[in-house]
Amino acid sequence: MVKLTNNAVHKIQELLESASESENALRIFIKPGGCSGFSYGLALDALKSQDHVFKIQGISVVVDSASLDLVKGSEVDYVQNFTGEGFQIWNPNAISTCGCGSSFHTNDQVGQPGSCL
């Protein structure tokens, strides 16, 4: 299970309103790379048969099986501050993160560290 803050819900609803019909869910995924081993990804996407689907305040949040254990219990927020605005993920499974906050590794999985993009 993942969670969305109210700020994230409002921003995702806004993005979904202008998205194509096939982009009807928020996909949270993990890919190898980044300073700490894994990097987060967020995208508007279509549901796929192998996805785990969570309904949060009317929004379909989908996570593929390979990413599920790495993001389980995470919270997605949308923040606006003096440095800019964007989505942030708080992940209770991450034991180490990089300075940019978009890369992490867990106690069990270290991924493939590389450059942060």
Residue 75 has pLDDT above 50, yes or no: yes
Task: Report the pLDDT value the prediction gives residue 88, as an integer from 0 to 100.
Answer: 86
pLDDT confidence bin for 30, thresholds 50/70/90: confident
Two structure tokens written together for 54? 């969570």
- Domain extents in the chain: 3-106
pLDDT value for 31: 81
Q: Is 47 in contact with 62 (CB distance < 8 Å)? A: yes
Question: Apex CA 62: angle with CA 2 and CA 14, to 5°?
Answer: 85
| Cα Dmax for the chain | 40
Cβ-proximal residues to 81 (8 Å cutoff; 6+ apart), any chain: none
Residue 79 or 93, more confident: 79
The whole-chain average pLDDT of the chain stands at 82
Distinct helix (H) and strand (E) counts, the chain: 2, 9
Please name the fold of domain 3-106.
Answer: Hypothetical Protein Aq_1857; Chain: A; (2.60.300)
pLDDT in tens, 3-27: 999 999 999 999 999 888 888 999 9
Question: pTM for this one?
Answer: 0.80
pLDDT tens digits, residue range 88-112? 888 887 756 665 556 554 556 545 5
